[in-house]
Amino acid sequence: QVQLVESGGGLVQTGGSLRLSCAASGTIFRINAMGWYRQAPGKQRDLVAQITSDSITNYADSVKGRFTISRDNAKNTVYLQMNNLKPEDTAVYYCYSDLVSLTGRRDYWGQGTQVTVSS
């Protein structure tokens, strides 16, 4: 069974940095893309960043120049380096992966990790 496990969230002051990690495990045949969504209280879940199997990246306008997504193919792990954090970055961050497993192609989600940026 495929699982995505996140780590790296926490509390940080405005201008600080955090690095989120997300590792996929299970019987995985192919990972087409991995990335991060976030959801602030009272708001919908929005895409933050994603990276495809051929290293094409996409970022939300609000994080361009501050966040960097990367991956380690040997570990089936995706990272989100977050620099110059702002209070508006406060949210639960969810890892996702578009992958092919024994049950076919679908999206999988991590458990979520809280990022809080103090003003």
Beta carbons of 69 and 78 less than 8 angstroms apart: yes
**Tokens standing for 45?**
């879940």
Phi and psi torsions of 103, nearest 5° = -100, 10
User: If you average pLDDT over residues 21-27, what whole number do you get?
Assistant: 96
Percent of the chain residues past pLDDT 70, beyond the cut = 100
User: If you average pLDDT over residues 109-117, what whole number do you get?
Assistant: 98
- Tell me the pLDDT band of 115, cut-offs 50, 70 and 90: very high
HEC string for the chain: CCEEEEECCEEEECCCCEEEEEEEECCEEEEEEEEEEEECCCCCCEEEEEEECCCCEEECHHHCCCEEEEEEHHHCEEEEEECCCCHHHCEEEEEEEEEEECCEEEEEECCCEEEEEEC
pLDDT (0 to 100) of residue 107: 96
- Tell me the pLDDT band of 100, cut-offs 50, 70 and 90: very high
pLDDT (0 to 100) of residue 4: 97
Phi and psi torsions of 78, nearest 5° = -120, 145
User: If you average pLDDT over residues 90-118, what whole number do you get?
Assistant: 97
On average, the pLDDT of the chain sits at 97
Percent of the chain residues past pLDDT 90, beyond the cut = 97
pLDDT (0 to 100) of residue 69: 98
Residue in 37, 18, 51 with CA at minimum distance from that of residue 91: 37
Q: What is the pLDDT of residues 28-53, one digit of tens each?
A: 999 999 999 999 999 999 999 999 99
**Tokens standing for 15?**
């201008």
